[in-house]
Amino acid sequence: MVKRRVALITGASKGIGRAIAIRLAQSNIDIIINYNNDLKGAEETQKQCSVYGIKSIILQGDMSKEEDVDSVFRESIDQFGKIDILVNNAGITRDGLLISMKEKNFREVIEVNLFSAFYTMKLAARIMAKNRYGRIINISSIVGIRGNPGQANYSASKAGIIGMTKSLAKELASRNIRVNAIAPGFIETDMTNKLNDKVREKLLEEIPVKYFGKAEDIGHLVNFLVSDEASYITGQVISIDGGMNI
């Protein structure tokens, strides 16, 4: 019997992370659901993944802390013996103009959005290189490409993810490991629900298809990028934004 692939998705208790977990489960991939605070949300993700008959586990861990990442990886290997797919999705915003931005808010965003990926990719690369197979997907953002007023910290973290993706793609290509980034535009989740109607209307004007994206749209793209059909794609940043970044 062929062993199922195993995917670790960080920040999978809601939003885009949950949609990615469910879409990969639908493709017969075992799922490791990481969350930080929202256990109920992680359990809901697991419930929706289980429908597809795969094995899934829930692992708590603050991915900005190296010791938490270490223990999530240790437990994952204990339970599954391998990690084939890593999706770095955990992310936060702490918006504000740079001129008045507190160092704490700059640091926190960089630690959760960028250091987390450094810690996870370091461990995943070792496991994947040994197995001569791996797929890493990093969730960046359109603002990592274009910048955005009020998001100097967030856009720095998302641009950093793009640089790391490209470097690691080059480092690991010969081991059959592919590393790509996804740059979503405006996707309807808790993260974007905070924005008021005026901001949303203004954003819509910038989106050629004239509607916001759904978390499921990102799930489908991740599912393609981890498939064998996408094995010749590495080091890329794929925009998924209704044309916002044209």
Which lies closer to ligand NAP via its Cβ, residue 108 or residue 171? Answer: 108
Helical ranges in the chain per DSSP H: 15-26, 39-50, 66-80, 103-110, 116-131, 142-146, 152-172, 190-193, 197-205, 215-225
> Shortest gap between Cβ of 172 and ligand NAP (angstroms)?
22
Q: Are 161 and 183 a contacting pair, CB within 8 Å?
A: no
**Three-state DSSP class for residue 23:** helix
Residues of this chain, 159-198, that bind ligand NAP according to CB under 6 A: 184, 186-187, 189-192
Among candidate residues 133, 154, 211, 232, the one labeled active-site is 154
Of positions 7, 8, 10, 31, contacts ligand NAP by CB under 6 A: 10
Distances (CA, A) of 86 to 90, 121, 177, 202: 12, 8, 11, 34
- Contact between 15 and ligand NAP (CB under 6 A)? yes
Task: Judge whether 154 counts as a catalytic residue.
Answer: yes
Contact string (CB under 6 A) for ligand NAP, positions 58-87, x = contact: ----xxx-----------------------
- Contact between 90 and ligand NAP (CB under 6 A)? yes
- Contact between 119 and ligand NAP (CB under 6 A)? no
- Contact between 35 and ligand NAP (CB under 6 A)? yes
Catalytic residues: 154
